[in-house]
Amino acid sequence: MAVLAVDNLCKSYGGEEVVAGVSFRIAPGECFGLLGPNGAGKTTTLRLCLGLVDPDGGSIELMQRRVPGEARPARLHVGVVPQMDNLDPDFTVEENLLVYGRYFGLPERTIRERIPRLLEFAGLAARAASRIQTLSGGMKRRLTLARALVNDPELIFMDEPTTGLDPQARHLIWERLKQLLAQGKTIVLTTHFMEEAERLCVRLAIMDRGRFITEGSPRELIARHIEPHVLEVHGDGVAGWARDEAGPLASRVEKSGDTVFCYAADPAPLLANLSRKDLRYLHRPADLEDVFLKLTGRELRD
Amino acid sequence: MRAFALPSISLRCVPVWRRNLLVWRKLAVPSLLGNLADPLIYVLGLGYGLGSMLPQVGGVPYIAFLAAGMVCSSTMNSATFEAMYSAFSRMHVQRTWEAIMMAPLDLDDVVLAELVWAASKSILSGAAILAVIWLLGLTHSFLSLWVLALVPLVGLAFGALALVVTAMAKSYDFFMYYFTLVVTPMSLLCGVFFPVDQLPTAFRAVAAFLPLTHAVAIARPLLLGEIPGNAALHALVLLAYAAAGFYAASVLFRRRLLK
């Protein structure tokens, strides 16, 4: 039984299709990643799934309830960590959790029992009485995560949970998400950090221009879409080298700025050639970012 | 389509109302003093200052005449401020509404909570002024306690109208239009400072449609110890403004936030 089943979902704004026929199902306990460049339609897809926006077409079933019609009761079992911080600045850390728990109609006692555990989980036990303005970005994000757990949800939506955080804060969030998955929670997250997707997601979809362009486990996507070896070559004369010599040695050559990316199933001919040149290079296994850039292109999205 | 559906009225608004109460409790004393200071200055300044130069107005000393107007206009101001500046902060600046709507609450619940909250705050203002009026000895009639029943109605009517403005506001600056073009003219046309009969006929006709006129028409006789005529009709007008404003605000907020 899927906790979220989306079928042929469509949404347009001013004639522009932001979500253009998206379908997917999320099984309980899964961590599903939605990847895509800015403006791909990730956040709109999440808002549609939560019933915050009415779709133009298609169907959504969240926690076995039709959305948007029954979105409110469905959200009783769902937690949300939004992209933009919307903690209540008028309250302390603890009050934020208390007030948010009330929105779920939870009895006061239940909320007060949960607060110490939630603060512990978020690493904010010592900051219960702190005002929101005094928290760091990482603390705020952890509090937002704790707030999303106040109703003990089965499914948690996270919209770019680690954007803007430093590596320490990011790793701590990842640790917590793994704990939640170990507890059997289901997580749907959007991100444009490939590392995050690779670490956390069992399954992911890459979204661009409102459509899913591919779907699978991180390994599957790499195996399906990209050659296993990557050489990043740079230095004086790299452009000439790419034009005259790289072509036959690699299955694909891409230029980005002053760097040439060579993709190959067998790196030996490239390595042999480069050993005789005065070019600097980095040889690494292909990763999800290569898949992402191949499928969505290298040009900037703003 | 739910865009034009009647807003759902449910007790789900209670936790949102309690949220606002919890914020207010932290600032209760300065907030109450602020609510009292402005109308008090008017009552004392105009009432004694201007009043000493005037003969009786409407058959009573000017300050007693003005008191009823001040109860209504300060209730109006309090509800208006709360439903505009404070609600706009919660909706637009702090994104509090967005956070609430991720929980199992709808926009309708949030809008209703804002309306009831604005009315609740205005009750405090209205009641505070009434207390001062008693303390100053400007009323002696226990009929004046009925003003406490009128004040929530005034708060709902003006809270709802202000929410309509908030739903259309791009920034805080927008609220100045409403104050300059609606609130201030209303204070002058609706019998707060002088009887409506003093106005030219055309203005009197306009005043008859304005909600504040109907609030004052109930409050003034009560404070003077008389039973107001047509009280039910005046109350009905206020109720109609509240209902129409609430519906319009709900539709406009949906259009703004549920895209």
Chain segment A234-273, per-residue pLDDT in tens: 877 777 776 777 677 778 888 888 888 888 888 877 777 7
Q: Compute the count of residue pairs across chains A and B with CB atoms less than 8 Å apart.
A: 61
Mutate to test the interface with A, among B102, B107, B253 (most CBs of A within 10 A): B102
Using 50, 70 and 90 to split pLDDT, how confident is the model at B50?
A: confident
Q: What are the start and end residues of each CATH 3.30.70 domain in chain A? A: 227-285
Closest residue to B104, CB basis, from A82, A99, A104 = A104
Flag if A102 and B18 touch (Cβ within 8 Å): yes
Mean pLDDT across B209-228: 95
Flag if A53 and B258 touch (Cβ within 8 Å): yes
Contact A279, A233 (CB under 8 A): yes
Q: Say what percent of chain B tops pLDDT 90.
A: 78
DSSP letter, residue B57: B
| Dihedral over Cα of B170, B172, B173, B174: its sign | positive
- Count of other CB atoms within 10 angstroms of residue A278: 9
Q: Whole-angstrom Cα distance, residue B217 to residue B208?
A: 10
Q: Whole-angstrom Cα distance, residue A41 to residue A208?
A: 7
Looking at the domain A4-217, which fold is it?
Answer: Rossmann fold (3.40.50)
Residue B36 pLDDT exceeds 60 = yes
Closest residue to B103, CB basis, from A13, A85, A104 = A104
For A154, A216, B30, B150, the CA distances from A76, given in Å and listed in that order, are: 9, 29, 37, 38
Task: Determine contact: A131 vs chain B, CB below 8 A.
Answer: no
What pLDDT is stored for residue B190 in this prediction?
A: 95
Reading the block at residue B166, the tokens are 């908030």
Mean pLDDT across B48-68: 88
Flag if B105 and A82 touch (Cβ within 8 Å): no
Reading the block at residue A168, the tokens are 């320490």
Residue B120 pLDDT exceeds 70 = yes
b/e B103-134 (16+ beta carbons within 10 angstroms → b): bbbbbbbbbbbbbbbbbbbbbbbbbbbbebbe
Residues 177-216 of B with CB under 8 A from A: none
The residue to which tokens 């080298």 are assigned: A241
Q: In this structure, which amino acid lies at residue B119?
A: A
User: In terms of C-beta density within 10 A (0-12 exposed, 13-18 middle, 19 or more buried), how is residue B27 classed?
Assistant: exposed
Nearest CA-CA partner of B213 in B244, B243, B192, B230: B192
Q: What are the start and end residues of each CATH 3.40.50.300 domain in chain A? A: 4-217
In this predicted model, what pLDDT tens digit does every residue of B197-207 receive, in sequence order?
Answer: 989 999 999 99
Residues of chain A with pLDDT under 70: 242, 246, 301-302
Mean pLDDT across B91-100: 95
Reading the block at residue B115, the tokens are 């309306």
Residue B37 pLDDT exceeds 80 = yes
Q: Whole-angstrom Cα distance, residue A40 to residue A54?
A: 18
What pLDDT is stored for residue A112 in this prediction?
A: 96
Q: Supply the CATH classification number for the domain A227-285.
A: 3.30.70
Mean pLDDT across B173-177: 95
What pLDDT is stored for residue A85 in this prediction?
A: 87
Flag if A151 and B103 touch (Cβ within 8 Å): yes
ipTM of the complex in this document: 0.91
What pLDDT is stored for residue A164 in this prediction?
A: 83
Stretch among A16-25, B53-62, B139-148, B160-169 having the lowest mean pLDDT: B53-62
Task: Determine contact: B96 vs chain A, CB below 8 A.
Answer: yes
Flag if A82 and B2 touch (Cβ within 8 Å): no
Closest residue to A75, CB basis, from B2, B18, B104 = B104
Distance from CA of B19 to the nearest CA of A (A): 6
Closest residue to B98, CB basis, from A86, A90, A151 = A86
Closest residue to A102, CB basis, from B2, B15, B258 = B15
